[in-house]
Amino acid sequence: MKTLKDYSVSFEKLLKEYQFPGTPSNLYDPLSYFMNLGGKRIRPLLTLMSAELFGGQAEEAYPSALSIEFFHNFSLIHDDIMDKAPLRRNQQTVHAKWNDNIAILSGDVLLVKAYQELQRHNPAHVSKLLTIFNKTAVEVCEGQQMDMDFETRSDVSVHEYIDMIRLKTSVLLGGALQMGAIIANATEVDQKLIYDFGVNLGIAFQIQDDILDLYGDPEKFGKQVGGDIITNKKTYLLLKALEVQKGNEVDDMLLIEDMNLKVKKAQEIIKKLGIFDDAQKLKSHYQQKAMTALSLIDVPGEHKNVLIELSDFLFNREV
């Protein structure tokens, strides 16, 4: 059976062979640059793995894998403008290196390029692929808007937060997997199960991300520990803490001006309120849901190993 590494090598080769047109260079150079910044390429690997899980060949799923990775990068380019982020993977973002207009337009054309890959599939699959891709793309935009809306709202519930991360980040994992399943002619029941596996895995992963942001090992964590709490970002940990606090201790913590002290205080309070444990439980809950969906898929167990390897890779990281 193929390993995670095997899929990763094939996809990197595919991506390396892909060439954007040469002109207009202000439209396409930013895309060659940005696609080359690297990343784990989790989403397209899921598409390839899913196609093979259901008896197809990874090669048949190459256009959809590229499409998903293009879509993901389109959303990062536009999100970086909206967040005014200067850096991505320690390199300049597109709007910082060029300008906002170029980042808007090259993001737009990258989204179209994502659809252009879809059209390469067998016409018998195109309509179904387009349907799940569109649904996912709309949801990702909705999740991004909810996230932006949360910044200025003071009444965000934990329930809304989970809904936001489901849309903003998790449905794309589910969609990537379902597209592989469609290409391999999986049944609708199996398509639904692999989709659910991806969405629940994504939610669990995002909750882990929130936990690591506050409690990650500073030696291993690539970015500043406590970055979310420093910017008062409404993560699961903070929203839950605001919900269950005794008195105003969480509100008071948010007002601390010394950032090291603020992070230390947040770590203490959130642990004391039992929210560190809650978050671990919630993460396990979604992981469990993902694994249950995977277990119900009607294919030989050993075909599922690489998806379990990928999950382990995602959850055993400390950075």
Which residue, 10 or 136, is less far from its own copies as judged by CB? 136
Is 92 or 116 the residue whose CB approaches its own copies more closely?
A: 116
Q: How far is CA 30 from the centre of its chain?
A: 22
CA nearest neighbour of 299 among 53, 52, 45: 53
Nearer to its own copies, 145 or 267 (CB): 145
Closest by alpha carbon to 94, among 36, 39, 44, 21? 36
Contact 220/318 with Cβ under 8 angstroms? yes
To the nearest whole angstrom, how small is the minimum distance from the Cβ of residue 9 to its own copies?
A: 29
CB of 91 to its own copies, least distance (A): 21
CB of 49 to its own copies, least distance (A): 25
Which of 125/304 has CB closer to its own copies?
125
Which residues contact its own copies by CB under 8 A? 23-24, 26-27, 78, 81-82, 100-102, 104-105, 107-109, 111-113, 115-116, 118-119, 123-124, 126-127, 130-131, 133-134, 137-138, 141-142, 144-146, 148-149
Least distance to its own copies, CB of residue 131, Å? 5
- ∠ at Cα 150 (80, 289), nearest 5°? 90
Query: Smaller CB distance to its own copies: residue 102 or 314?
Result: 102
- Encoding tokens for residue 161? 């937060």
- What does the CA dihedral 287, 292, 298, 304 come to, rounded to 10 degrees? 30
Q: Which residues contact 56 (CB under 8 A, 6 or more apart)?
A: 180, 183, 184, 185
Task: Determine the Cα–Cα distance for residues 151 and 133; give it in Å rounded to an integer.
Answer: 28
Residue 142 vs 309, nearer CB to its own copies: 142
User: Which CA distances in Å does 162 have to 134, 201, 221, 250?
Assistant: 21, 13, 24, 20
CB 169 within 8 A of CB 79: no
Shortest reach from residue 73's CB to its own copies, in Å: 13
Residue 308 CB, nearest approach to its own copies (Å): 32
